[in-house]
Structure 1
Amino acid sequence: MKKGNAEPLDPKLRAELEALSSDDSPVDTSDIPEVTDWSAAKRGMFYRPVKTALSLRLDTDVVDWFRRQGDGYQTRINAALREYIETHGGS
């Protein structure tokens, strides 16, 4: 999506959005069964850790090796660093 000034909404769409935003009635959930069995639930399935952008100097051969493994080399470098932390008693 392009940043900047968006084109104005057409009147029909604007009216529909205003109608939706003004309705404060509660949602009827009577047809949705209550979940009582959470045994198959997966904790943290959609969790994405906060990332920090930084400039880091690595040996060229190390970066080349990770890049040769294909797309996602930065993710694999992160995983390798995380494994090192876990192996060496990091918190």
Structure 2
Amino acid sequence: MRENKPNIPGTWMDPDDAPELDAQFFKKADLYQGDRPIRRGRGRPKLASRKVLLSVRYSPEVVDYFRQTGEGWQSRMDAVLREYVRRKV
């Protein structure tokens, strides 16, 4: 007696139908060093003086002014405060 085999599509793929491994493919590929993945975008050297995360309240006018200067407004605000401290020391 014959057994009924389930109608399952095969998983075999003709190697000639595989996508081309071009430069774009390798740009998006995950990089590994041994068994550990290398995280992208983490290759920057650490700053000599790290910034401190804290919660502080500023008047709305000050925040609005710096936000209107566009992207990087927090760094500009930090630069203004550093300049103030430099002049007072």
Q: TM bucket by the smaller chain?
A: 0.3 to 0.5
TM-score w.r.t. the length of structure 2 is: 0.47
TM-score w.r.t. the length of structure 1 is: 0.46
Q: Of the two, which has the highest radius of gyration?
A: 2
Q: Judging by fraction of residues, say which structure has more strand.
A: 2
